[in-house]
Structure 1
Amino acid sequence: MRSLFTLLFLAVVLSYTACSKDTFNINCGTFQTDLIDRNEDGLRTHINQFTQDLFPDPTPDDSLGHAENLRILVRRIKDQCSSLDADIGCYACIETLPLQSEIVILLDSAGVQVLRIIDITTPEGDKLSYSSVHQ
């Protein structure tokens, strides 16, 4: 009976840690290749994994509620792939429906600096998501 309780306890602890929101299974090499090649499908998969829990939290200063989420997304990219230089280009600056934001990423490809700009859909009432890549 005691061993059954121990096994149950371990199963609960392991399942909780496996679902940690700050853990992302991103292959940095694949992510970099997708950036260099402008692979829309690959980038959509990677970025949407980073944004899976970034729902809006509107404040008096941020009616969309995504300013902090965009900062979190950039931090996650940097934390996961330290070789990438990522920063916010602009927040809710592309006037489409819904609005879009930009993340600027600088990376090295065989000694050549590559600049990519990722457009992030910044909707009211829904989570951030990948839109497109350019540059």
Structure 2
Amino acid sequence: MPLLQVLRPTLPILIGASIMLTLSMGLRQSLGIFMQPLTHDIHLSISDFTLALAVQNLAWGFLQPLAGAMTVRYGFRPIMIVGSLMYIVGLVLMATANGLVSIMIGAGVLIGTSLACTAAAIAMSVAARAVPATV
């Protein structure tokens, strides 16, 4: 029972970090569902869509250190909020896309950048700061 008493103040932070991680990574993992409608409706090739996802992975990887540095300077909350808003804008742009450029910007650059601000590295940092070292 002492472990539960120690973790009780940190549970909202841990639950919030896990929900943020679940939403950001879960939506990213489900982008394959959109491949068939996108390639069919706006006449993209499968290679164009996968190129956008490759840009997403590159943006995520390159911008993670920058997002981490920005959390040190500005704090976790503003970076996570900006990342969430970028994710929403990227999804809206992807939903209203009518060509390769909007898919590349929405699914590639914006969602990739938002993953750097909301995915595993930031969520683990928030959780690690919330849990006391004695646990």
| TM-score, normalization by structure 1 | 0.28
| TM-score, normalization by structure 2 | 0.28
The structure with more helix, counted as a fraction of residues: 2
Relative contact order: is structure 1 or structure 2 higher (C-alpha 8 Å, sep ≥ 6)?
A: 2
